Amino acid sequence: GAVVSQHPSRVICKSGTSVKIECRSLDFQATTMFWYRQFPKQSLMLMATSNEGSKATYEQGVEKDKFLINHASLTLSTLTVTSAHPEDSSFYICSGQGGNTEAFFGQGTRLTVV
């Protein structure tokens, strides 16, 4: 299957700092990128959907000014967690979709805010 490369896999940051997570589709053009968050023992929660070249659509309850999404090209999307706090500690996963096909997940980023 297609590959989505997500980095970093783990990051620890201090409270109040910002963290950028990067997802690259390596062998297909991801016209749509989904960003999810998953807390321990809970299901995937969709945070936002972004289409290349346009602003992301955020799910209800997700602060767009806190979770900045950039999808400037068909192979790269980034999520920046701004002014991170301990409650933002979670497993963040991206998923790329090219057209009306299946989506492929990145490896995930485990964020710990201390």
Partner 1 sequence: QKEVEQNSGPLSVPEGAIASLNCTYSDRGSQSFFWYRQYSGKSPELIMSIYSNGDKEDGRFTAQLNKASQYVSLLIRDSQPSDSATYLCAVSRSQGNLIFGKGTKLSVKP
Q: Which residues bind partner 1 (CB under 8 A)?
A: 1, 6, 32, 34, 43-44, 46, 49, 91, 93, 95, 97, 99-108
- What does the radius of gyration of the chain's CA atoms come to, in whole angstroms? 13
Nearer to partner 1, 81 or 94 (CB): 94
| Closest distance to partner 1 from the beta carbon of 11 (Å) | 15
Residue whose pair of structure tokens reads 């999810």 in the numeric block? 36
CB 95 within 8 A of CB 34: yes
Nearer to partner 1, 17 or 64 (CB): 64
| Closest distance to partner 1 from the beta carbon of 62 (Å) | 16
Given the DSSP bridges, would you call strands 67-73 and 57-58 parallel, antiparallel or unpaired? unpaired
